[in-house]
C-alpha cells in the first residue's frame, strides 16, 4: 500500500507560499504649522466592515461575486495598518499639537473615528483598480459633539492584477485620502 502512495503522489510539487504585505505611504510637501492648533487628536482603531475584517485580500470578480485570497494577505490587520499610517501622516502635517492612538496618557480634545467601507481589488473588468472607501467622523472628546463626517472613496488604477500592484494602488489611495482629510480638518480642530 505504501508503494502505491509514493508512486501515485508527486511530493516534489512546490506548494504556494503565503505572502504578507504592509501598506506604506509617506507625506510629502510642507507641513501645516501656520494653521496648527493646540488640539490633541485621538485616532481610534479603524472599524472594518464584516467581509473585510480578516487579513486576506479581497477581490471583486463581477458585480455580485467577491473572493478572498488565502495566499496574499495583510501583515497584521488592515485596520491597524491604516490607523498607523493615519497617525503618522497627521502627525507629520503638524496640524495638531499631537495625534495619538487610543491608550495614550494624553487627554485628547478631539476624536477621529473611521469605518472602512470598501477595501478590495476590483478585477471585474479588463482594467484593474485598488478600491478604498472610508467614512471619517470627527467628534469632540468631552461631549461627543459631531463636528464633521465625510465619505472618502478612491478607485486607483493599477497596472495588473498582481498582489504587489494592488498593494501599491492601495498605498497611493490612502495617501490621496489622507491628503484630502488633512485639508478637511483645517479649521475644524479649534
pLDDT tens track for 12-22: 778 789 999 99
175, three cell numbers: 495617501
Any domain includes 20: yes
Q: By mean pLDDT, which of 35-39, 153-157, 172-176 is the weakest?
A: 35-39
Any domain includes 166: yes
Any domain includes 17: yes
Q: What is the CATH number of the domain that holds 150?
A: 3.40.50.10610
d(C-alpha 18, C-alpha 147), whole Å: 42
Residue 147 · residue 117 · CB < 8 Å? no
The number of domains in the chain is 1
Q: For 98-119, what is the mean pLDDT? A: 95
Give the pairing of strands 98-101 and 40-43. parallel
Any domain includes 57: yes
Any domain includes 190: no
168, three cell numbers: 501599491
Q: For 82-97, what is the mean pLDDT? A: 96
Any domain includes 85: yes
Q: Which domain holds residue 64?
A: 2-185
Amino acid at each position: 500500500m505504501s508503494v502505491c502512495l509514493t508512486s501515485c503522489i508527486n511530493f516534489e510539487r512546490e506548494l504556494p507560499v503565503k505572502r504578507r504585505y504592509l501598506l506604506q505611504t509617506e507625506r510629502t510637501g510642507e507641513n501645516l504649522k501656520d494653521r496648527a492648533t493646540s488640539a490633541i487628536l485621538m485616532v481610534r482603531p479603524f472599524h472594518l466592515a464584516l467581509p473585510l475584517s480578516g487579513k486576506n485580500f479581497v477581490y471583486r470578480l463581477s458585480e455580485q461575486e467577491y473572493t478572498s485570497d488565502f495566499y496574499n494577505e495583510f501583515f497584521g490587520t488592515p485596520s491597524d495598518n491604516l490607523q498607523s499610517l493615519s497617525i503618522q501622516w497627521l502627525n507629520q502635517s503638524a496640524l495638531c499639537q499631537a495625534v495619538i492612538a487610543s491608550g495614550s496618557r494624553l487627554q485628547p480634545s478631539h476624536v477621529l473615528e473611521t469605518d472602512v467601507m470598501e477595501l478590495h481589488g476590483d478585477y471585474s473588468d479588463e482594467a484593474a483598480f485598488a478600491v478604498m472607501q472610508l467614512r471619517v467622523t470627527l467628534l469632540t472628546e468631552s461631549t461627543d459633539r459631531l463636528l464633521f463626517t465625510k465619505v472618502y472613496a478612491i478607485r486607483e488604477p493599477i497596472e495588473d492584477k498582481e498582489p504587489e500592484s494592488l498593494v501599491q494602488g492601495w498605498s497611493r489611495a490612502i495617501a490621496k485620502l489622507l491628503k484630502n482629510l488633512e485639508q478637511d480638518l483645517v479649521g475644524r480642530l479649534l
